[in-house]
Amino acid sequence: MTGSILVVDDEPQIRRVLKTALAAEGYFVGDVKSAEECFVKLRQERFDLILLDVNLTGMSGLEACREIRRTSDIAILMLTVRNTESDKVAALDAGADDYVSKPFSMPELLARIRAHLRRAPFSQFNGPRIIRFDDIEINVATRHVSVSGQDVRFTPKEFDLLYYFATHPNVTIPHGKLLQAVWGPDYGNEIEYVHVFVNQIRKKIERDPSSPRHLLTELRVGYRFALDL
């Protein structure tokens, strides 16, 4: 596995440990101690993934994540000592792809990193390259979504989840199956991930997100993507 990772944490010991462990796995690793330094680093160099601490000094990790998401689709894993469901939802709402609680095991973190640096099997364009329904067009080759002729920005995980739904219409898909298909085989219990990303997708494709026409909830089971075929 190769790739470049930016570690953003205001604790020098954490940065040293992560740099050593990640470099030993063959990753190129950059590190900074603040959100402001992170923005500068991202302008100077290209990275594939960011490990971003929530509790940074100065601008918080959540604020930094929102700012990064305004212009970048880079994978973002949030690191934090907090582990409540509301904390996870806040991180995902800010644009994070994943959430890892401190203290974490290095094998777990490495597995999460690998999951985000590799493409899910269904993303290899085996299905239709363009999917159209109502006034929505999903271009798989360019990974763009347009609604009523206007491009709508999707994060990589949002796009992957929408694509999975659109290629598995009119069947109930359990939460665990969605997690393993989109996030990877190491996932299955992080149901709040699916809830947050489904809400984000609804806001982008549904005329009335509070009363969706396509992305329907199957209570206590999962979701169903309703399409007229």
Q: pLDDT tens across 49-101, in order?
A: 999 999 999 999 999 999 999 889 899 999 988 777 888 889 999 999 999 98
Residue 123: its pLDDT value, please?
A: 46
Query: What residues contact residue 122 under an 8 Å CB cut-off, 6+ apart?
Result: 160, 163, 164, 167, 181
pTM, full prediction = 0.84
- Confidence band (pLDDT; 50, 70, 90) for 127? low
Residue 5: its pLDDT value, please?
A: 97
Q: What are phi and psi of 4, to 5 degrees?
A: -115, 135
Domains and CATH numbers, the chain: 4-117 (3.40.50.2300), 121-225 (1.10.10.10)
What's the average model confidence in pLDDT over 33-37?
Answer: 96
Q: pLDDT tens across 130-150, in order?
A: 899 999 999 988 889 999 999
Beta bridge partners of 77: 51, 98
Long-range contacts of 150-155 (CB under 8 A, 24+ apart): 152/204, 152/205, 154/201, 154/204, 155/69, 155/73, 155/95, 155/97
